[in-house]
Amino acid sequence: MSKLSLAGAWKLRGEFMDVTAERYNEVLRKMDAAPVRATLPAFLKLEDLSEEEQAEFLKDPNPHFHVMTDKSNHAFPSKYGFIPMTVPGDVTTALIENGIAEEPFLKENTKKNQWIKDLSWWLVRDFDVTEEMLNEDIVRLNIEMLDFNADIIVNGMPAAHHENAFCAFSEDIKRFLHVGKNQLVIRLTSGMELHYPRDAVSFYCASENAICDQRVYTRKPQFTYGWDWCQPVPTCGIGRSIEIEAFSGAQVIASRVDTLKLDGDDAEVEFHFEIEKSDMVSSAECELTYTLEFEGKTVYTGKKTLMLVGGVNFAEERVTIKNAKLWWPNGYGAQNLYTFKACCVTKGILHEMQPKKIGIRTLELDTSKLEDGSRNFFFKVNGVRIFCKGGNWVPTDSLYLRTPKESYETLVREGAAAHFTMFRMWGGGTYEPDCFYEYCSEYGILLMHDFMYACAFYPDHKNDFLFEAEREAEYQTKRLAHYPCMAIWTGNNEIAESYTDWFPAPIKPERFYGEKIFNYIQPRAVHRNSPLVPYMPSSPYFGDRANESEQGDVHAWSFFGRHPKTKFKFVYELEAFDRIPARFSSEYGFFGAQMESTVRRYLDGTEMRFDNPIWKHHGEFDRKRSNIDGAIDRHLTEFKALDEHGYLLYSGIMQGLLYAELAEAMRRKPYGAGDLIWMYNDCWPETGWTIIDYYLTRKISFYFLKRAFATKKLIIRACEGGAEVTVINETPEAFTADIHCGYMTFTGETDSLCTKTLKVAPHSMQQFHISVCNDLKRGFFFASAEGFDTADSLRAYYRDYVFPESDAKIEKVEQDGNDLLVTIRASVYTPFAYLMTSDDRVHYDDNYVTLYPNEPKTLRVENCTETPVLHVAAPAPSEETKKASYTDSWF
């Protein structure tokens, strides 16, 4: 076997959309018509020229590549010239690198690049083919990702057409090749032009940012057309790997290792192989050898002699692995990974499979019925119940093909640092590259994985669409089957709920368009290729209606209105979090501003002002601000008194408080099984739902959620006659804990002190009640123990209290390797004390912390030599609180 990578330097040119693949010769003639200048002109608009200049340009444009647009943002490609492009990559990035388009996320530049969708884009690459390659049985062109509408031309001959960014292209092109120099031409479009003639069913986008509701017809990342949280950035390109593969003989083309059961220290596993033989009209004997290695040592070797037929063959073997090292989610144990290798020898020809990292673990979704008629919804790994803490993952960039591998590791590592155990892969995004799933497996992050359909009814009445849906489901379930992080496949995002809950007649279609995909095609693919991973037709799902609170997973968005059962408005009456009967919240979110460095980066030199239209363009529009400002005003301070800097601070704190409130509420419920925020990461810089922004900077809310998700956690809630204390231990260690409880005033006086000694089992939660009566307007109940953060009974109603003025100060600064250890203290209760350096991107082990009277707190400042400054974000009591009598009872 030989492989020829086609990654690297290509040539790119834009043409009008009506320049089809059949006219490729016209395009290629322009390659040598004029040299490409070293420095390309800045982006121009046609109206910037005089009438004479416009006429001259349209008659005979400058003999080098540039693009001009008229007032309607319609593009005119140059008559001459190609530009360089790096593959893998997308067209927009190449245009930016060549000075033809502008970086879309600075200022309001997303509006300037819409013309890119209206052109066809021609990518050209020459390559050499040897005689040895052509002597092989098969010579394939493999392209892992083509976005989107692609015509492939090899040496002037049309070789294939492809219309699915979610399914790899692979085609034998041997018949088109010859020894020596060959040429590959790929014509791409963004797919937008395919929308207009299509007959639509009922579709939905729910966003003023969206540029096309008929996105449902294109199998590419749906968010690129715009959503309520991102601007449209349409593009096209070649993603991930692209190579020519020449081979004869037999090779493993798909494999997985299923963990069937655990028996003490041993594990029963089953190897699965799909083997391809290249000669289609004969059979041949094959020696299949496969091994499992752990930490460099071989723990199992298997061998099979197979008689292969041409094309696809299958093999399995069930074995017992002694003293198996199990894979666990983050915080529950070690992420032990085995190296899985295999090779085939046929007629003396050896082909080795690319080694894979696999985890030995069992996984189960428990939906058993409870006494009250409701149902559980929790995951068990290796027989242990897992609380799924985490967030919704969206693509890391609107130009998603330009995301470097390092960004994936940073984001997964940051999730693990915040004690995440699960990401939900949102259905409007993409199936990520292999490195992402490798990192999730390495860091112990489970995946609740949507198929890539979202918030729309999909045209399953069209056979060509069903064909692509079936190919996609088969390809992705097979590709991802071996990763231990895969916890559940879900058919789509919110489409079942939209059909039952969103639309009145006549907007609601006459039937559930998409059911053939979500209820038939996808579950069959999961069962064939990954049978031990559960499948659910949508998220949310289960119950008479898709978003039932008492079973299945729930998208808990009703805080913007009044919940029909709790009657509370979630943003303001936080007790509703405790009352919501959800088992598993797979979406809940609140907005929070970014750090100032991020805001200034996209403002790109313009002034940071509330009325700056660039700021509003990046998510600060009125509807969003009304929710943020209302929450700040209710819980923290008077928002009208805040300047831009104060708004960034208190908006971030407010987001963190609300995320922590729901996390703690879900974790203390006996039936609570998961809390996934909407959303974890950003695809562009905006004031939004995330705790990590587009530039990979931690937002203020990151630290609140990290504390709420701690693997060892105390939670205390005031209740009638005292308080309820919850003790959570997700770690595999058992220990005895002395839980110190009582009442404390804001100035440090204590009362009703008691100690509860508990034997804390691994992976456990227990609760107990303490009888304490005191004035909860002047103080709070608390619980503390060694190895746990202190918990108090104050909710996020900080404007209901008059706190004494804080005297927080830095007591000590010590160097610890590359880090600083900073000890801070206050003599009074101080809700939000935080350290800050001149760089707001610096990482801390914790920040925006509560200081309890006269108790020191040591914070680690990572990779920093600059001594930080201590600040306090003081809540301001409301006018009602200032007037209130402090003898009023809390209850």
- Give the whole-number percent of the chain exceeding pLDDT 70: 89
pLDDT by residue (tens digit) across 484-494?
999 999 999 99
Residue-wise pLDDT for 306-358, tens only, equals: 999 999 999 999 999 999 999 999 999 999 999 999 999 999 999 999 999 99
User: Which of 197-206, 245-254, 696-705, 836-845 has the weakest average pLDDT?
Assistant: 197-206
Determine the pLDDT at residue 576: 76
410-450 pLDDT, tens per residue?
A: 999 999 999 999 999 999 999 999 999 999 999 999 999 99
Kindly state the average pLDDT of the residues 726-755. 97
Who's near 11: CB < 8 A, 6+ residues apart?
Answer: 31, 82, 83, 84, 85, 123, 124, 125
Distance CA 566, CA 742 (A): 30
Task: Yes or no: say if 445 and 422 are a contact pair by the CB < 8 Å rule.
Answer: yes
Q: What per-residue confidence (pLDDT) applies to 54?
A: 62
Residue type, 56: E
Cα separation, 330 vs 334, whole angstroms? 8
pLDDT class of 772 with cuts at 50, 70, 90: confident
Q: What is the 3-state secondary structure (H, E, C) of 685-726?
A: CCCECCCECCCCCECCHHHHHHHHCCCEEEEEEEECCEEEEE
What integer pLDDT is reported at residue 571 of this predicted model? 56
Q: What is the amino acid identity at position 666?
A: M
Angle, alpha carbons 586-589-595 (nearest 5°): 130
**Please, which residues have CB within 8 angstroms of residue 520's CB and are 6 or more apart in sequence?**
none
Mean pLDDT of the 465-489 span: 99
Flag whether pLDDT at 560 surpasses 70: no
Instruction: Give the mean pLDDT of 666-685.
Output: 96
**Structure confidence by residue, pLDDT tens digits, 520-535:** 999 999 999 999 999 9
Q: What pLDDT, on the 0 to 100 scale, is given for residue 548?
A: 87
Please check whether residue 522 is in contact with residue 473, taking contact to mean a CB–CB distance below 8 angstroms.
yes
47: number of Cβ within 10 Å: 11
Structure tokens at 413: 């590592």
Q: Given a cut of 80, is residue 839 above it in pLDDT?
A: yes
Please give the residue that has the higher pLDDT: either 561 or 86: 86
Domains of the chain: 2-246 (2.60.120.260), 248-358 (2.60.40.10), 387-707 (3.20.20.80), 710-803 (2.60.40.10), 805-874 (2.60.40.10)
**Rounded to whole angstroms, what are the CA distances from 319 to 259, 297, 302, 307?**
10, 18, 9, 22
The count of other CB atoms within 10 Å of the CB of residue 373 is: 8
Mean pLDDT across 562-580? 60
Question: How many CA within 13 A on the CB side of residue 96?
Answer: 17
